[in-house]
Structure 1
Amino acid sequence: MTTDSTFRTEMIEARDAPDQRRGVIGWFRANLFNGPINSIVSIVVIYLLARLIWPFLEWAVIDADWIGTTRDACTGQGACWVFISARFESIIYGFYPEAARWRVDIVFALLAILVAWLAVPKLPYKKWVALFALIGLPIIAYFLLVGGSFGLEYVPTRAWGGLMLTLTIAVLGIVGSLPLGIILALGRRSKMPFVKGICVIFIEFWRGVPLITVLFMASVMLPLFVPGNFDFDKLLRALIGIMFFWSAYMAEVIRSGLQAIGKGQTEAGQALGLNYWQRTGLIVLPQALKLVIPGIVNTFIALFKDTSLVLIIGLFDLLAIIRAGLTDSNWLGFSTEGYVFAAAVYWIFCFSMSRYSLYIERRLNTGHKR
């Protein structure tokens, strides 16, 4: 009789108990009900939130009207989202010609694809995609949105508006303010008095002036310093003002990261024979930017929200288009729906940037936290 080797002849070692913190119930147990005081506070907060959220859900979802083209379709006691659906195209495209809106759709699609490509960690060629996003996409977007070449109809920027204009200002403002802020931060730490003085004056001037004043200066005063026969586009003026304004704040955020890097990093680069730009670009700056990711993203979020201020110089962004629609006599009395929709759009974009920054922080965490 042979012995089957598949049977164990020794006792199995003791194993740890199953982790009860997994899943939804485990998360609640670990975060909301992990003690008597915490449980009581959680129950009170959940009760108060339920009392506040349920009436809002009744108004916004359950009793809301969704289908229709005129205010006559709004017969319920809840929100009238017919106002949003009836004016949805103007909210997205502004005054952009209807026959040319496919060009805006292409730019939106390219932007979404590039953002998704850079956000998903396992996709290849991220450096080339990032380079295309910084150089190629702006060129393609310019020829598509402005037109006037390759047989495309010319569309002046005064016809731009809605979410299209908001994203244009936000994306160009972010892309322009970050590198300029890096240059200003490095210049403020420079040992050359002239360079340092210029950067300090620039930063303190733009940080000491409200953004509304900057937009007024860009819209009213800036044309006074250019030749009379030179047509300086209003949107371009606003973009320059926004870039300069937020680059000053970005410079201080990045400077805080540069100050957090010890001198030993620079000395190690010198010992390797690296010059200033090599030490800064390969050693110091990557570490500094990693440390100030929350501050950088916070500045991006503030920039995105402040795009609504361009209304004061006659540019109709997302919020301005909604406010203009509320002045229509056919839609009087639906301001709540309009502002709630605008708030939801801003929240979605800002929350997405915030969550992505947390993801980047976790990926780049290499031991600086204590």
Structure 2
Amino acid sequence: MSAAPARLLTGLRTGLFGTRANTLITLATLLLLSQVVPPLLRWALLDATFTGNADACTRDGACWAFVTAKLRFILFAFYPPDLQWRPTLVILLLAAILSLSALPRFWGRPLLFAWPLTILACWLLMQGAFTDTQIPSNQWGGLPVTLFVWAVCFAAATPIAVLLALARRSKLGGLRTFSVLYIELMRGTPMVGILYVAMLILPMALPDGLSIDKMLRAIVMVTLFWAAYIAEVIRAGLQAIPGGQTEAATALGLSYWRTQQLVILPQALRIVIPAMVNLAIGFLLATSLLAVIGIFDLLNAARASAADPKWLGFYNEAYLVVAAVYFVICFAASRYSRWLEDRLKAGRREP
């Protein structure tokens, strides 16, 4: 046996049975799995129905025929079927810009210009631009809405959060007070409350005759809300940088903004990579709260699909599909965080 498999087996044996406590925990886990896994496999595979209609499905097994019939609705909700290539293209565009943003070799000014262009293209595609049919945002839904709101809000909130974090550490009392009040107010308000402000209060604050699309109002308010949370994470990274580095940069003649750009922020952002990815995952899951203002995100579309009178009650299958989508995205983000930490050598100390 080669060295790598041998080390793996040794690690597993030590971790699972190395101590009496580990052995008891391992045996208890195996016992629990023996009680849970066989019924789950029986429900998901052996007694499942893969084809047919709702009458062919039984309550003893999963009805994967429901998933086949309603998958397009789960992914795209009420978007017109003949134009669903548009939200599909939106998903691909968002996946492409997120993939490019994840690779350090593409970090630079071209990527900064690519983001607003991609967002504009996605918005126009979802609206049905350049066609005879305009698609109102009430018909948007499913995975494109979840990814669009998540990507746009997180991307727009991050630069705002950097400014808020710097303002909270500023020596200017008024600026620091404003930042503290803003951050604490937003962090002390539930996201549901922010969404109700976007839905009910913001339209009343607009001048007569001026209206803003519901989706756009939600994106603006969610961006401002998320910025407060990201600001605190970035502030933690800023506090981890020794003050001597700022003094050294000042002694070299660098201005405040050049010091932050070239010396402080690159190090601070490296330190908070795990926390930022954790926030991004949490924000992705929080997009399900858009349902409270009538926006059909992925989870809400899945719930609505199981309310179809022809396929009534198959909520387990619908939620499993959504859970699988969320898991793939979140697991990929988690692994990316580990890779980026190793790539940038974040948090490592030289011996």
What TM-score does the superposition give when structure 2 sets the normalisation length? 0.91
After superposition, the Cα gap between the structure-2 partners of 1:52 and 1:323, relative to the gap in structure 1 and judged at 3 Å, is same
Unaligned runs of 5+ in 1: 1-16
Bigger fraction of residues in helix: 2
- Count the aligned residue pairs: 350
Q: Report SS of the residue matched to 2:84.
A: helix
Structure 1 residue 242: deviation in Å? 0.9
Structure 1 residue 164: deviation in Å? 1.6
Q: Are 1:94 and 1:164, in contact at CA under 8 Å, matched by a contact in 2?
A: no
After superposition, the Cα gap between the structure-2 partners of 1:34 and 1:18, relative to the gap in structure 1 and judged at 3 Å, is farther
CA distance in 2, matches of 1:207, 1:359: 30
Q: Are 1:21 and 1:27, in contact at CA under 8 Å, matched by a contact in 2?
A: no
Counterpart in 2 of 1:88? 71
CA distance in 1, matches of 2:251, 2:180: 31
* Structural mapping, 1:177-188, within 5 Å: 177-188=157-168
**Counterpart pick for 1:208 among 188, 210, 215:** 188
Give deviations 1:197-248, integer Å, cap 9, x for gaps: 2211111111111111111111000001112211211111111111111111
Decide which moves more: 193-202 or 52-61. Answer: 52-61
* Structural mapping, 1:6-155, within 5 Å: 19=3, 21-22=5-6, 25-29=9-13, 31-35=15-19, 37-68=21-52, 70-75=53-58, 77-119=60-102, 125=106, 127=108, 130-131=111-112, 133-148=114-129, 150-151=130-131, 153-155=133-135
CA distance in 1, matches of 2:114, 2:62: 39
- Identity of matched residues, %: 40
Q: Report SS of the residue matched to 1:53.
A: helix
**Counterpart pick for 1:189 among 156, 169, 180:** 169
CA distance in 1, matches of 2:10, 2:100: 33
Structure 1 residue 30: deviation in Å? 5.2
**Runs of 4 or more consecutive aligned structure 1 residues displaced over 6 Å after TM superposition:** none
Structure 1 residue 40: deviation in Å? 4.4
CA distance in 2, matches of 1:277, 1:186: 10
Q: Are 2:307 and 2:313, in contact at CA under 8 Å, matched by a contact in 1?
A: no
Counterpart in 2 of 1:241? 221
Which letter does structure 2 place at the counterpart of 1:252? Answer: E
Structure 1 residue 366: deviation in Å? 5.1
Structure 1 residue 28: deviation in Å? 2.5
CA distance in 1, matches of 2:276, 2:143: 23
CA distance in 2, matches of 1:190, 1:153: 51
After superposition, the Cα gap between the structure-2 partners of 1:96 and 1:367, relative to the gap in structure 1 and judged at 3 Å, is closer
After superposition, the Cα gap between the structure-2 partners of 1:227 and 1:191, relative to the gap in structure 1 and judged at 3 Å, is same
* Structural mapping, 1:254-293, within 5 Å: 254-293=234-273
After superposition, the Cα gap between the structure-2 partners of 1:154 and 1:296, relative to the gap in structure 1 and judged at 3 Å, is same
Which letter does structure 1 place at the counterpart of 2:243? Answer: K
State whether structure 2 residue 328 is matched by structure 1 residue 345.
no
Give deviations 1:57-114, integer Å, cap 9, x for gaps: 221233222223x202314731112222211111111111222211222222223334
Q: Are 1:63 and 1:76, in contact at CA under 8 Å, matched by a contact in 2?
A: no
CA distance in 2, matches of 1:317, 1:39: 44
Decide which moves more: 331-340 or 22-31. Answer: 22-31
Once superposed, what is the RMSD of the aligned Cα atoms?
2.4
CA distance in 2, matches of 1:220, 1:172: 22
CA distance in 1, matches of 2:287, 2:49: 30
**Counterpart pick for 2:304 among 309, 324, 329:** 324
Which letter does structure 1 place at the counterpart of 2:46? Answer: I
CA distance in 1, matches of 2:248, 2:263: 9
Q: Report SS of the residue matched to 2:296.
A: coil
What TM-score does the superposition give when structure 1 sets the normalisation length? 0.86
CA distance in 1, matches of 2:221, 2:189: 11
Unaligned runs of 5+ in 2: none
